[in-house]
Structure 1
Amino acid sequence: MKKFSLTLVIFLSLGLFLAACGGDSDEEGNGGDEWVKDVTLLTGGEAGTYFPLGVAMADVITANVDDVTVNGLSSGASVVNINEVSSGEAEMALVQNDTAFYALEGSKMFEEVVDGYSGVFTIYPETIQIVTTADSGIETVEDLEGKRVAVGDVGSGTEANAEQILGVHDITFDDISAEHMGFGDASTNLQDGNIDAAFVTSGTPTASIQELSASTDIRLVNINDDKIDALMDEYPYYSKVELGSDEYENFDSTATTVAVQAMLIARDDLPEDQVYEMVKAIFENKGDIEEAHERGKELTVDTAQDGMSIDLHPGAEKYLNEQ
């Protein structure tokens, strides 16, 4: 009996040990605390604001976080970026706050829920600029009816913004000649006279509009206050923005429009301590971000959760709360 009891104890102990080992292996296989050494950070088109800011963030992390290399890559912006992060093709991305929320809801441009990511920080307001040439005769949103209008890439945040802004004016894409193209192509086509106006959602000043305004007198179309109120009632992510005459060269007017927020997201399964260290590196080397684009100056700890439309990643939350 004593020999049997001793054998049973040894057997059970061995079983518990093996089960514990198996549990550890399982956890590591699902991500666990294992850092991702090669990180992809998706930005946007090279003519926009996401690209220089995202590349600068990638370079800062690579230079200041041991054993982590981050590649900032050009992409199709918000919708594409969210899908890529959700599918595991990328670890981090710059997106619009409204688009990030729609993905988790499975609404608007998303036919089903797209998840697996969380917020890191918000950066700056992304202004929806309706750009045209000064001699186009287009002064109001209503004037866009029947015109050739660039509405952003297919499935982009810009396309959603264009649809919503036109919608509060009782205009649909069927009422215009909608052209799907990015900011750079839109600028070129405006200059060449192939389109009449373009929706551009980006931080100001936007490189593609700067290039256009250097050679062409431009106009930014006003959105009337009553339409802004209607838009904000239906879509609470928008805020009212005033653009001054000093925004661009050859732009001697002002414009009232709306903005959403640019934000950084990360995969949920990135380890908390890795995200903590990456966020810390960005804020402690913010000067490099500011040098890449002046919108980098708007990245601050105090405003890093303004307009945050989704849950924060635990690593980002830990760092921001400590500050």
Structure 2
Amino acid sequence: MKINLITGAVVIAAITALPAVADSQALDKTGWPESFTVGTGSQGGTYFGYGTGWANIAGEELGVSGAAEVTGGPMQNMALVHSGDLPFGMTTMGPAAESIAGSNPIAPGLKMDKACAMFPMYQTPFSITALSSSGITSVADIPEGARIGFGPAGSTSDTYFPRMMEELGVKFERRNGGWSDLGSQLQDGLLDVIAFAAGVPVPAVSQLEVQTDINIIEFTEEEQAKITGAFPVSDFDIAAETYSSLDNPARSVSMWNFAIANCDLPETFVYGVVKAVMSDNERMVNTHKAARSTLPEFWDRNKVMKWHPGASRWFQENAGADIPADMIYSN
């Protein structure tokens, strides 16, 4: 039974695939679809730009038409890929673990174990942005009752950042929306703060920098330690060159993102997609700077999801991956 979860979502940037390269002709194409769609996130967020990029690359290499689709982000992507409503999606380790355990708020109690790991994407830093005119330069400066935009409902940001703010003693009014929309609301004075969880540079933040003066607020060492002790994240520094508003690296925390595939997709199809994305990192980086971490050696950052057999075979053959048999999906 499929779960129809996309409300008002639109398919964006459908890509007409170019002729497949000769190498892909060697793959057994039995059961391959004529087209595919990648579940991403909201427009203005990293997932959408990154997902459009790899859908394009895989489509060109395999001769299959690909597209990126706007969704609610990692939690919804887990549900859509598990159910088969979408063949591919993108998620972060926290939402993946919760979904597999049956704690996805979209379908409480349903263990979403038919969404398989495909390849590592990048780390998602958690960062806070405010207008310079607000006078907010630290977490401690955020006033009681501040209107904070946490991204699309059910996204990684919306799932974890409110809890992090509560852990740090911040009292706020919770707001949701797409990143581009929240950026506009911040600029218009309808929000006090935006709490981003997205690969950097976040397009909405880069756009804000062009239009107004902003503060990118880092965590103190004590705040960082408190968050890493309470949540499935690790220390991370946002490099100074990421944004023109930064003079020095900004202390943050991050969570790894992985591309996911429905576990029942043909092995050769997923193998071909992984090969297309992982074999040319420079091409991926040209689609989005966050892809600098889309490297084979980061396969071991997945400790949550079972691997799709096609993906595990590629990493075993090309990255020396030692993936235990019980971490590879089988019917």
With the length of structure 1 as denominator, give the TM-score of the two structures.
0.82
Read off the aligned partner of 2:288 and give its amino acid letter. H
Say yes or no: does 1:37 pair with 2:34.
yes
Tell me the residue number matched to 2:57: 60
Tell me the residue number matched to 1:298: 293
- Structure with more helix by fraction: 1
Say yes or no: does 1:84 pair with 2:80.
yes
Give the one of 242, 252, 259 matched to 2:237: 242
Tell me the residue number matched to 2:209: 213
Residue 308 of structure 1: CA displacement? 4.3
Task: Tell me the alpha carbon deviations over residues 151-171 of structure 1, each in whole angstroms, 9 at most, x when there is no partner.
Answer: 122222111121221132134
Residue 52 of structure 1: CA displacement? 2.1
Read off the aligned partner of 1:106 and give its amino acid letter. G
**How many residues align structurally?**
286
Say yes or no: does 1:257 pair with 2:252.
yes
Say yes or no: does 1:279 pair with 2:278.
no
Q: Would the aligned equivalents of 2:53 and 2:284 in 1 still touch at CA under 8 Å?
A: yes
Tell me the residue number matched to 1:136: 134
Residue 227 of structure 1: CA displacement? 3.0
Read off the aligned partner of 1:122 and give its amino acid letter. P
Residue 254 of structure 1: CA displacement? 4.5
Aligned partner of residue 246 in structure 1, secondary structure: helix
Residue 192 of structure 1: CA displacement? 1.1
Read off the aligned partner of 1:233 and give its amino acid letter. G
Are the structure 2 counterparts of residues 232 and 250 from structure 1 closer, same or farther at C-alpha, using a change threshold of 3 Å? Answer: closer
| CA RMSD across the alignment | 1.9
Higher mean C-alpha displacement, 55-64 vs 265-274? 55-64
Q: CA separation in 2, counterparts of 1:250 and 1:117?
A: 38
Say yes or no: does 1:320 pair with 2:315.
yes
Aligned partner of residue 276 in structure 1, secondary structure: helix
Q: CA separation in 1, counterparts of 2:313 and 2:82?
A: 23
Tell me the residue number matched to 2:225: 229
Tell me the residue number matched to 1:26: none
Tell me the residue number matched to 1:170: 169
Tell me the residue number matched to 1:309: 304
Q: CA separation in 2, counterparts of 1:54 and 1:195?
A: 28
Task: Tell me the alpha carbon deviations over residues 172-203 of structure 1, each in whole angstroms, 9 at most, x when there is no partner.
Answer: xxx31211122111111111111110011111
Q: Aligned ranges for residues 11-30 of structure 1 at < 5 Å? A: none
Q: Would the aligned equivalents of 1:214 and 1:249 in 2 still touch at CA under 8 Å?
A: no
Aligned partner of residue 212 in structure 1, secondary structure: helix
Tell me the residue number matched to 2:43: 46
Structure 1: runs of 5 or more not aligned: 1-32
Read off the aligned partner of 2:118 and give its amino acid letter. V
Residue 71 of structure 1: CA displacement? 1.8
Residue 108 of structure 1: CA displacement? 6.3
Read off the aligned partner of 1:38 and give its amino acid letter. S
Q: CA separation in 2, counterparts of 1:135 and 1:308?
A: 42
Read off the aligned partner of 2:50 and give its amino acid letter. L
Q: Would the aligned equivalents of 2:74 and 2:92 in 1 still touch at CA under 8 Å?
A: yes
Structure 2: runs of 5 or more not aligned: 1-29, 319-331
Tell me the residue number matched to 2:121: 123
Q: CA separation in 2, counterparts of 1:302 and 1:101?
A: 22
Q: Would the aligned equivalents of 1:53 and 1:292 in 2 still touch at CA under 8 Å?
A: yes
Task: Tell me the alpha carbon deviations over residues 50-72 of structure 1, each in whole angstroms, 9 at most, x when there is no partner.
Answer: 22221121122221124x33222
Aligned partner of residue 253 in structure 2, secondary structure: strand
Tell me the residue number matched to 1:149: 148
Residue 295 of structure 1: CA displacement? 1.6
Residue 98 of structure 1: CA displacement? 1.2
Tell me the residue number matched to 1:11: none
Residue 150 of structure 1: CA displacement? 0.6
Residue 224 of structure 1: CA displacement? 2.5
* Bigger Cα Rg: 1
Q: Would the aligned equivalents of 2:43 and 2:179 in 1 still touch at CA under 8 Å?
A: no
Are the structure 2 counterparts of residues 222 and 297 from structure 1 closer, same or farther at C-alpha, using a change threshold of 3 Å? Answer: closer
Residue 288 of structure 1: CA displacement? 2.8
Give the percent of matched residue pairs that are identical in Structure 1 and Structure 2. 24
Are the structure 2 counterparts of residues 250 and 225 from structure 1 closer, same or farther at C-alpha, using a change threshold of 3 Å? Answer: closer
Residue 141 of structure 1: CA displacement? 2.3
Residue 143 of structure 1: CA displacement? 3.1
Q: Would the aligned equivalents of 2:72 and 2:154 in 1 still touch at CA under 8 Å?
A: no
Read off the aligned partner of 1:270 and give its amino acid letter. L
Q: CA separation in 1, counterparts of 2:147 and 2:289?
A: 32
Say yes or no: does 1:98 pair with 2:94.
yes
